[in-house]
Structure 1
């Protein structure tokens, strides 16, 4: 193998395969060239298909259960109210760049969730969207922060927040991406690296703000709206930026486009805790007068069997004796209670009594090893098209909107994978069968001439390996 091979990974948070490969491909000349002269596939995300843990699942080839990270926030032990937010220190498993460092290879890393606070790497790191606004602690080595500020001033942005002012959002989105690419191109040309990776979180934010304006099948699509082309326009803009990266790559550099999950139109939100109350699993001492977060509600734990967390999927916890401080479910009743609850969830219908494609996972069956405070059930309402609303006070089961702010889209499992090298030629069948998010880390290591660890959850893509090593 040629150990001089280098890899650039361009992470597109939330980009779905149908939008990129089918709808927009012909208007994206650089991505189209990569697909024609390289290989591409739909990339199946992990369960759950959420930014955190998905990027770390991709980079470690370990399940969320092995990582002990089931979403942005996790329970603190088995506390009813305390939780912690995942960050760079939460990920204990070695990542691709850690394994490369053992082979004396350097990495340059930008915006990969979660990478705040910045931690030591063999190379350079700029932290991710978890970075507090105006923080000066966003880079490794620390002096890199001063270098970046010297390049772009204080204009470097880690994220752009959702807002009802969509025009202001778009302005900030383009400012964020433009500044990020200025830094990316600078570091690609200045630094010594073998592995370069950055993630653009802007795609995810764009989808959540504008999906209904683009997707004609969205239940809230407004015909002939002024935002119809907002999503395609940003994709075309980003394609131009990818072209600039392609022009910087030499013959030994392989460029990978990848997304952590897909995106689809949100049908609405299902109030999981309102439903658990109706079914007798969750008991309040007093129903709130306004919409209220669960941990601010007056819950009668001595009578509560189960409660849920909201998000793009639901996490259900049983109130277990010996585990929770006021648990009421005996250990020998665990399987019966959980199976009964699962059966009822599978039979939940939509607002018009329509059948929903609900999916319920047992974490220990899904992952095998489960670290941290795992939920007792993971639930996809209508296979993720209905998000889970954890708040209480709606006096309803179905909401037409997200309960935590403006949102048009949900996370689905079908992401993207594209690999390209300038020596690649058209004339071969470039579409591959579906790849798994777990296959990315071993495949990257294989490209760079390194044997992947035996305990990875994924495997080297034989098709990608054959193509790379026979160019």
Structure 2
């Protein structure tokens, strides 16, 4: 048996157009995998964000079935009761669980959705949602001691990556990348692993921090600015680390390089709650004079029909009688009100008045099941070129600034996949119509393992 049989290199947010088109000639290892295998754009989950996308990919379930609609989810129907969804929200087996059950020795390193760590048939290092290194972050627990011995300054994420201290941010992005790839190499040497998966969050962090100086499409682009090559150079570095990791594997190891979503320049923000105020759906008892999070403002719930949450995409919640504590929309009017708001949101234009291609979705129409407390509507403003801002107090619908700190990029609905199986060379086959949900059924089929019932994806011809 090759060691490992299967290697997955997850690169959070890696953008297909940069790998497949713009910089392909500068990425020899990824290009070789493409030339010998299959590759293509990979449609992400909706929403196209880290949490829930990796859990969707590894479980073959959509956010509705997982009941995870973003980093933060409503805990209850109380107003403002949002909390971060960590790994405990995932109630279904993921790829490493299924392989472990089939007798494979597995390792999962920093895959989003694995904090807190839990027992698997091998080793697990939890993800960037781990609060700090004082809490358990490995399975088995003693693995943490070994990691500390190898890497005393082990990072769980890039600290405060939404910062103006760009040099420090860049240094930490490279440190995080080196630690993940080095840890993978050490564990491959130490254990006869059948499966190893790592996820590097550095790609996502570098996009959010350094997209503006790279991309002439960015509204605040300045030619010749500092750090103009930061993202390109990091892609080249990642490619080198991929090559070094592959050199530690057998000639028969199958390799999947995958991202959970892509990236694009952030054109600005749509102040969703300002729009609700203007349209009469949201009523405040007092209007703040500076940008303020909605949960720090007194809302007149007796006159409010809807409110929104900020983030890479917009989430809309309706104030329904008998459902929310002070709901005012009668259940009989729920669907017409929801449709009316969706149609109006879809027409929010660009600042110059030109239409934007906004997509407003009802969870019941895009998910197989809807569990937990879902938003009533999910809003993609210009396919995520504009993010949703939840703060109130500006009096404006459009903003050029992000309300959670400096941010150059937003997510894009397509990530990428490159799959090379030395036993089945595909000679540069381009995959069309691949979705993130297809990864699990495809890999289980490849290794002759029965897939759980009710998966959303299909088996890809790789």
Q: Is 2:413 the counterpart of 1:413?
A: yes
Counterpart residue number, 2:148:
149
| More divergent stretch after superposition (151-160 vs 431-440) | 151-160
Provide, for residues 155-190 of structure 1, a one-character-per-residue CA deviation record: whole Å limited to 9, x for no partner: 344333221110111111112212222211101111
Q: Secondary structure at the match of 2:10?
A: strand
In 2, Cα distance between equivalents of 1:216 and 1:447: 42
In 2, Cα distance between equivalents of 1:91 and 1:446: 23
Q: Alpha-carbon deviation of 1:368?
A: 3.3
In 2, Cα distance between equivalents of 1:31 and 1:434: 21
Provide, for residues 69-125 of structure 1, a one-character-per-residue CA deviation record: whole Å limited to 9, x for no partner: 000010112110212211111100111111112211121010111111111111100
Matches for 1:162-181 after TM superposition, within 5 Å: 162=161, 163-181=163-181
Matches for 1:6-405 after TM superposition, within 5 Å: 6-162=5-161, 163-405=163-405
Q: Alpha-carbon deviation of 1:374?
A: 0.6
Q: Alpha-carbon deviation of 1:366?
A: 0.8
In 1, Cα distance between equivalents of 2:174 and 2:347: 44
In 2, Cα distance between equivalents of 1:377 and 1:352: 26
Q: Alpha-carbon deviation of 1:457?
A: 0.2
Structure 2 residues not aligned, in runs of 5+? none
TM-score by length of 2: 0.97
Q: Secondary structure at the match of 1:223?
A: coil
Kept after mapping to 1: 8 A contact 2:111/2:126: yes
Q: Alpha-carbon deviation of 1:135?
A: 2.5
| More divergent stretch after superposition (168-177 vs 448-457) | 448-457
Provide, for residues 261-281 of structure 1, a one-character-per-residue CA deviation record: whole Å limited to 9, x for no partner: 010011100100000000000
Kept after mapping to 2: 8 A contact 1:212/1:265: yes
In 2, Cα distance between equivalents of 1:265 and 1:357: 16
In 2, Cα distance between equivalents of 1:17 and 1:154: 32
Counterpart residue number, 1:468:
none
Provide, for residues 381-415 of structure 1, a one-character-per-residue CA deviation record: whole Å limited to 9, x for no partner: 11211100001111211110111111011111111
Q: Secondary structure at the match of 1:285?
A: coil
Q: Alpha-carbon deviation of 1:54?
A: 0.1
TM-score by length of 1: 0.95
In 2, Cα distance between equivalents of 1:328 and 1:179: 52
In 1, Cα distance between equivalents of 2:100 and 2:413: 31
Q: Alpha-carbon deviation of 1:30?
A: 0.7
| More divergent stretch after superposition (244-253 vs 108-117) | 244-253
Q: Alpha-carbon deviation of 1:423?
A: 5.8
In 2, Cα distance between equivalents of 1:346 and 1:155: 45
In 2, Cα distance between equivalents of 1:280 and 1:50: 30
In 2, Cα distance between equivalents of 1:79 and 1:448: 46
RMSD between aligned residues: 1.6
Kept after mapping to 2: 8 A contact 1:89/1:117: yes
Q: Secondary structure at the match of 2:448?
A: coil
Provide, for residues 118-157 of structure 1, a one-character-per-residue CA deviation record: whole Å limited to 9, x for no partner: 1111110001111123335110000000011111123344
In the comparison of the two structures, how many residue pairs are matched?
A: 461
Kept after mapping to 2: 8 A contact 1:3/1:449: no
Kept after mapping to 1: 8 A contact 2:383/2:413: no
In 1, Cα distance between equivalents of 2:132 and 2:310: 26
In 2, Cα distance between equivalents of 1:12 and 1:307: 34
Q: Alpha-carbon deviation of 1:251?
A: 2.9
